[in-house]
Amino acid sequence: MKTHVRTHFSRALIGSAAGLLAVTMLAITWGQQPASSGNQETPRERAKAAEKEKIDAARETKQEARGTTREAREGARETARDDRQTTRNTKAGARDTVREDRQSIREARRDVRAARREFIGSRIRSGDLGLWLRRAGGGGLTVSDVNNRGAIAQSGLKEGDEILSVNGQPVTSEREFVDKLFANHDNNQPVNVLIRRNGQEQTISIQPKTFVDEHVSSDDRLHEYGIILDESSPDHPKVKAVVPQSPAFYAGLRSGDRITGFSGQRIEAVKDLVQSIINATSGPNAMEVNRNNQTRQLDIEIPPEHEADQPRTALRPTLPEPAPAPAPAPQRQPRLNPPR
């Protein structure tokens, strides 16, 4: 009995030792398994990592796109600035060109006025004097037409006259005739013009100063202020028409008015009116007119020199309206007999 118990105990002890050894080995195995599994990524972690890489790559691409967009915008702004600067430079150049052109026009108009005021003979042609010439067959000049009023009408020249020389110097062209005629007009000396009329030569004495005075006092100067005079009244300035949007128009001057005074001076001839306007100061100037046998007082604005140089829009002058035609007499309608 004791032997059986001892044997059974020994077997139990050996089995317990073997079990303990097995448990120990299993524990060691279990202790190593978590350590080895801790270094491996799960599919979920790998998916998160891949998604994070995609997000990072998308952010980098977006940042690069933003940088490219900023550079493109900055380049566009610089191009726009350059274009605006180019446009400003072009406009400034155009303004300078227009300013130079206007200055050239003003200088040309000043030259024209100076020619009228100072009588520059080199800018005068025979037609300005009311004398028209043509070349003759023998190399001289022949008078083709002469104005019937003014200084040229009192010169003694007639249509058909052949001009041979001026003060003993032969002339063969219109330019030579005008230049020699006014070569010494300042000394107020007459000029001898040799002509051939009806086959006979004769000398005509012409006073250049009469042409100078007439040219300086020409009523063409009044056109700058919108006044067009009636040629049928050469002695007393009578208004034929008024140019719209001109100083005369805004002064209230009308067709048919007879100008009798300017700035307190009595006006009795066209040259008096022209000289008075030349000597007038810029600003409003008193003008006296006779309208329908009644005296009226007007104020005409004389613009400054720089304003007078500005171009005026070409408008048709207000000419006097013609008298209305009488209405035609009404025609009687034929009387129709009623049907029976």
Please determine whether the domains at 123-214 and 218-308 fall in the same fold group of CATH.
yes
Quick one: pLDDT at residue 99? 81
Quick one: pLDDT at residue 330? 52
Indicate if the pLDDT at residue 12 is higher than 70: no
Share of the chain above pLDDT 70, in %: 68
- CATH for 123-214 is 2.30.42.10
Find the mean pLDDT for residues 5-22.
57
Q: Is 142 left (phi over 0), alpha (psi -120 to 50) or beta?
A: beta
Identify which of 107, 131, 308, 116 has the alpha carbon closest to the alpha carbon of residue 221: 116
What global pTM score does this model have?
0.40
- List, for residues 247-302, the tens digit of each pLDDT value: 989 999 999 999 999 988 898 888 788 878 878 888 899 999 999 999 999 999 88
Chain centroid to CA 157: how far? 46
Q: Is 168 left (phi over 0), alpha (psi -120 to 50) or beta?
A: left
Question: 85: which 2 tokens?
Answer: 């600067």
Q: 218-308: what fold?
A: Pdz3 Domain (2.30.42)
- List, for residues 320-333, the tens digit of each pLDDT value: 555 555 555 555 55
| Per-position DSSP letters for 101-153, written without gaps between them | HHHHHHHHHHHHHHHHHHT-GGG--GGGGTEEEEE-TTSSEEEEEE-SSSGGG
Domain boundaries, the chain: 123-214, 218-308
Indicate if the pLDDT at residue 315 is higher than 50: no
Quick one: pLDDT at residue 296? 92
Whether 225 and 300 have beta carbons less than 8 Å apart is answered as yes
- List, for residues 205-229, the tens digit of each pLDDT value: 988 888 877 766 555 667 778 888 8
Quick one: pLDDT at residue 339? 47
